[in-house]
């Protein structure tokens, strides 16, 4: 029985795509709709024909539609540039998906901080007056 050592080729290709796309978005893409986004993960199909690219953005959910439009318009350019940078028999078609996990995590952290602040304020007992020492 063979033991899986490290990552599979598919995982390595997905990670390389993630790194290269992040670099392309940072250095080559000039679309102002895209702005500051982070590629959080990439999943490729077994035949490398499609890649699901998960991203987060600092623009906020109110600008998500603009960001998605910018990414979809740039997908041909990004795919072509990606094909120049990676060695696979087929450069995958890119499908962008908004990753809400960072936004949800920030919301949960905020709720936890608020709950702790409320708990701390209700736990405080009224201070008694101390005399001068």
Q: Tens digit of pLDDT for each residue in 59-88?
A: 777 888 999 999 999 999 999 999 999 988
Please tell me whether the overall predicted TM-score, pTM, comes out greater than 0.85 for this model. Answer: no
- Topology at the third CATH level for domain 9-122: GMP Synthetase; Chain A, domain 3 (3.30.300)
HSE-CB for 3 with a 13 A CA cutoff: 2
End-to-end Cα, the chain, rounded Å: 78
Instruction: Quickly tell me which residue has 């893409």 as its tokens.
Output: 29
pLDDT tens per residue, range 13-22: 999 999 999 9
Under the banding of pLDDT at 50, 70 and 90, the label for residue 110 is confident
- Domain segments of the chain: what residues? 9-122
């Amino acid at each position: 029985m063979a033991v899986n050592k490290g990552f599979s080729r598919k995982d390595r290709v997905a990670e390389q795509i993630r790194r290269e796309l992040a670099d392309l978005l940072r250095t080559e893409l000039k679309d102002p709709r895209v702005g500051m986004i982070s590629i959080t993960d990439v999943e490729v199909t077994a035949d490398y024909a499609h890649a699901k690219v998960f991203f987060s953005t600092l623009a906020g959910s109110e600008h998500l539609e603009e960001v998605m439009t910018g990414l979809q318009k740039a997908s041909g350019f990004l795919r072509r540039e990606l094909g120049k940078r990676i060695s696979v028999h087929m450069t995958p078609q890119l499908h962008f998906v908004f990753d809400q996990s960072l936004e949800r995590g920030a919301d949960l952290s905020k709720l936890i901080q608020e709950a702790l602040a409320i708990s701390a304020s209700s736990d405080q007992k009224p201070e008694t007056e101390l005399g001068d020492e």
